[in-house]
Amino acid sequence: MEARSSHASTYLVSERGLRRCPWKLKALRVKAPLRPLFDYYTSASTQWPTPSLSGRIAIVTGAACGMGRGVTVHLASLGAFLILGDCSDSPNLEQLAAELNASTDRPPRAIALRVDISDAGAVKSLFDAAESTLGGRAHIIVTCAAICDYDYPFLAETSEEVWDRMLAVNARGSFLCCREAANRLVRGEGGRIVCFSSSRVGALRPGYSAYVSGGEVAAFLQLIKCPIDNKVE
């Protein structure tokens, strides 16, 4: 059930709904019957449980920098063991793995691999590494890997080579990761597949025409969500 104000704002009216998205509540107008729940779930004194990933193995692509690095550090803070994948030539990936391994007395905590996720064999190697070096099958994969042409060419100036390369990594790469995960994360073991897309899909700016080819990931996920849920959760 929902209620709407004169400004067509939608209110959540169940405790379950409030619990599932407390971060959105500050922007909601809450009717009087919901005020106690609203106050509880938005109170600074409310202690939210911190999930534990102790003993879990996570694969993160695009882990060398940006959001991929942030995701990696966060998963490590929750206790996960990590397979880090990236195709860049910078030493950031190995440095991150070294930092994570130095933070524990039981290395290896993190394994760094140079992989191009547009290649099916390279994607497979990420899952193989989890089993061979960390002693178990992966539970989580987070696909953050993406590339961009930093010359930001307009569509009329975008070469076929640039377009094909971005499509290969940003879209095909996500597909290959999801496909491998759907076959390697076994139902009943709490498998999780997390894919990143781009907000540029909904707010395209000049120079991003090839980059948002990765926006196909969003449509792709809608197509495969039910089959993946049925297999790995």
Task: Tell me the C-alpha to C-alpha distance, in Å, between residue 72 and each of 90, 115, 136, 150, 181.
Answer: 17, 16, 19, 24, 18
Cβ–Cβ < 8 Å for 134, 83? yes
On whether the CB atoms of residues 59 and 145 are closer than 8 A, the answer is no
Locate 188 and state its tokens. 């009943």
211 is catalytic: yes
Q: Which residue matches tokens 């193989």?
A: 128
Identity at 94, one-letter amino acid code: E
| Long-range residue pairs from 64-73, CB within 8 A, at least 24 positions apart, any chain | 64/88, 64/90, 64/92, 64/93, 64/96, 65/90, 65/92, 66/144, 67/144, 67/196, 68/142, 68/144, 68/145, 69/96, 71/142, 71/144, 72/96, 72/100, 72/110, 73/100
Do 123 and 193 contact (CB within 8 A), yes or no?
A: no
Cβ neighbours, 10 Å, residue 189 = 13
DSSP 3-state of 11: strand
Closest-CA residue to 51 (of 171, 148, 190, 160) = 190
- Active-site residue (options: 40, 152, 208, 211): 211
> Any idea which residues carry the catalytic annotation?
211
